[in-house]
Amino acid sequence: METWEAGLVLSGSEIKSVRAGKVSLKGAYGILRQGELWLEGMSISPYENAGYANHERQRPRKLLMHRREIRRLIGAVEQQGNALVALDVHLSKGYAKVTLALGKGKKLHDKRETLKRKDAEREIARTVKRRR
């Protein structure tokens, strides 16, 4: 529906891993807590040369946005079924940024239909494999 760009608050070893491209956004989403925006579910691999001062792989990371953008975001997220999803992480002028999108969750009947389609595809693959 809409996209936003937010800065990431990272430690030294985390930014070095981001620059090396060792980031996974699988299952990452944004959440609002006490008027602040946080990114949950993002995984940054430990930096090999960090020694004892390495970071946690998966922890909540604070996102930086203007207050007026956060207020607008609060209104959009509080509508039923809307969620903030992380699309990508990139570097802009030396700073790590994350692109967030506002998405609508699936309804129960949509989820059931998706499961039926996956089961049918799996069954077709099994029969094709048996015939060979």
Q: Do residues 38 and 23 touch, judged by C-beta distance below 8 A?
A: no
Other Cβ atoms less than 10 A from the Cβ of 28: the count is 21
pLDDT of the residue at 16: 87
**Look-up: residue for tokens 């946005």?**
65
- pTM of the complete model beyond 0.75: no
Per-block average pLDDT, block size 10, for the chain (132 residues)?
88 86 88 89 85 80 91 80 86 91 78 89 91 80
CATH no., domain 3-105: 2.40.280.10
Per-domain residue ranges of the chain: 3-105
**DSSP letter for each residue of the chain:** --EEEEEE---HHHHHHHHTT-EE-TT-EEEEETTEEEEES-EEPPPGGGTTS---SB--EEEE--HHHHHHHHHHHSSTTEEEEEEEEEEETTEEEEEEEEEEPPPHHHHHHHHHHHHHHHHHHHHHHHH-
Specify the pLDDT at position 81. Answer: 67
